């Protein structure tokens, strides 16, 4: 009797083990299917229906301009299923959307792009910018006035980039003095070694986030270089160079570098400036840093022909991470020397832009928008920075295509 019970118990355990194995196998197949399946939303574009580059740029430009309301506030986060708009807001991404509009106007000046830029600049100035910490310094507050308390470095950096363009278009909207006062805030947060504090907090002064932002230093350097192009004060150029030099030196011993696209974009702008001027700066460290960042990004890209995520940089087909990495890679092509890495980046850009064009919403109310994921791994939401980064990547790629 005891032996029968033992045999029965062993059989039950074996059956349970087999059942568990079968269930796990089914689960693996389901996950694989979900990763590669076409998105259930009507907004999804199948790989064979990818938009061409011109159409993709036009649709995203239209989305971004339409998303800029009459008061200059962008539709920040929209549910593509029911049209509901989340009322939260992020002023860093507001400035990022303005940056994309500025790039769009540089590529193809149009009245509606200029109007959207001026509206969004007015919203930014009226609601988020003030000079209350030191005379001659203006900051971009994290929250809408009067809920002041934190002013972030990245917001000031991208605001400098975007508002410098607005100043060129309409100096009466943004004065050079306004821009210089924002530049002084960036300098106020910079340490002697070239690094930055992440933010200013009322009552605490300069401080770091937890963890510190990966992107703020590159955004700050880009903003300072944009200001330098307007007034040619060497203080901005020197501060931008020291910021990029610190990033290069602090990452010199890393095997895999973070995908810091803003540092690559700022390095490209510095290289462009120095190609026309005698900067008297040793840029060799910056070039090596850029090469290593690009190599780390290239290792992330998915090579999976015939799948939804071919050309993406993760299994879920995250559109923003793909777009930002492409922005950085394409910027690097502007200054990296010809050679194997240059060719690898060009090939990766071709594949990555194909992924973005397949992921773009092609028709309907949200045409030109981008969902968080091309595979349906996240909710059907369109955030303004998804569109901004994709549009910037597409615009940079068009310049590459035109120039060969």
Task: Find the CATH number of the domain harbouring 357.
Answer: 1.50.10.20
Does the residue 27 lie in any domain? Answer: no
Tens digits of residue pLDDT in 301-319: 999 999 999 999 999 999 9
- pLDDT given for residue 145 in this prediction: 62
68 lies in some domain: yes
Q: Is residue 379 part of a domain?
A: yes
216-231 and 234-250 helices, crossing angle to 10°: 160
Other CB atoms within 10 A of residue 176 CB? 13
Total domains, the chain: 1
Task: Tell if the pTM clears 0.75, that is, is over it.
Answer: yes
For residue 39, being part of any structural domain is answered with no
- For the cut 90, the answer to whether the pLDDT of residue 380 exceeds it is no
Specify if 13 maps to a domain: no
Q: Flag whether 40 is in a domain.
A: no
Q: Helix, strand, coil: what percent of the chain each, to 5?
A: 60, 5, 35
Residue 205 has pLDDT above 50, yes or no: yes
Residue 14 counted as domain residue: no
List Cα–Cα distances, 235 to 158, 200, 219, in angstroms: 18, 21, 17
Compute the mean pLDDT over every residue in the chain, rounded to the nearest whole number. Answer: 88
Distance (Å, rounded) from C-alpha 360 to C-alpha 381?
Answer: 13
Range of the domain at 272: 53-403
pLDDT digits (tens, 9 = 90+) for 12-45: 444 554 454 545 554 444 444 333 333 333 333 3
Q: Is residue 7 part of a domain?
A: no
């Amino acid at each position: 009797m005891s032996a029968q019970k033992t045999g029965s118990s062993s059989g039950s355990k074996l059956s349970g083990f087999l059942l568990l194995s079968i269930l796990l196998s089914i689960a693996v197949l389901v996950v694989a299917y979900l990763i590669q399946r076409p998105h259930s939303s009507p907004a999804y574009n199948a790989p064979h229906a990818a938009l061409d580059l011109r159409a993709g740029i036009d649709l995203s430009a239209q989305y971004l301009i339409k998303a800029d309301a009459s008061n200059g506030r962008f539709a920040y986060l929209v549910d593509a299923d029911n049209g509901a708009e989340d009322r939260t807001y992020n002023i860093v991404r507001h400035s990022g959307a303005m940056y994309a509009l500025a790039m769009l106007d540089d590529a193809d000046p149009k009245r509606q792009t200029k109007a959207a830029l001026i509206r969004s600049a007015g919203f930014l100035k009226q609601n988020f910018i003030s000079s209350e910490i030191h005379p001659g310094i203006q900051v971009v507050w994290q929250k809408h006035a009067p809920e002041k308390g934190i002013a972030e470095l990245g917001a000031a950096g991208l605001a400098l980039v975007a508002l410098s363009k607005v100043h060129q278009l309409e100096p009466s909207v943004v004065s050079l003095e306004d821009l210089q006062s924002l530049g002084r805030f960036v300098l106020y947060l910079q340490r002697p070694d070239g690094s930055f504090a992440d933010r200013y907090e009322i009552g605490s002064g300069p401080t770091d986030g937890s963890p510190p932002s990966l992107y703020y230093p590159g955004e700050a350097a880009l903003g300072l270089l944009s200001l330098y192009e307007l007034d040619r004060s060497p203080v901005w150029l020197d501060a931008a160079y020291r910021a990029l030099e610190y990033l290069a030196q602090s990452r010199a011993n890393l095997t895999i570098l973070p995908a810091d696209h803003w540092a690559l974009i700022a390095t490209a702008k510095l290289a462009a400036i120095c190609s026309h001027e005698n900067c008297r700066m040793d840029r060799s460290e910056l070039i090596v840093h850029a090469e290593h960042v690009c190599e780390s990004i290239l290792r992330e890209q998915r090579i999976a022909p015939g799948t939804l995520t071919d050309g993406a940089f993760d299994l879920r087909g995250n559109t923003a991470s793909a777009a930002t990495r492409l922005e950085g890679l394409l910027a690097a092509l502007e200054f990296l020397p010809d050679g194997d890495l240059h060719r690898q980046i060009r090939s990766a850009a071709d594949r990555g832009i194909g992924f973005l064009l397949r992921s773009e919403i092609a028709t309907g109310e949200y045409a030109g928008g981008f969902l968080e994921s091309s595979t349906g791994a996240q909710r059907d939401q369109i955030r303004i920075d998804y569109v901004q980064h994709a549009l910037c990547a597409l615009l940079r790629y068009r310049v590459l295509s035109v120039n060969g």
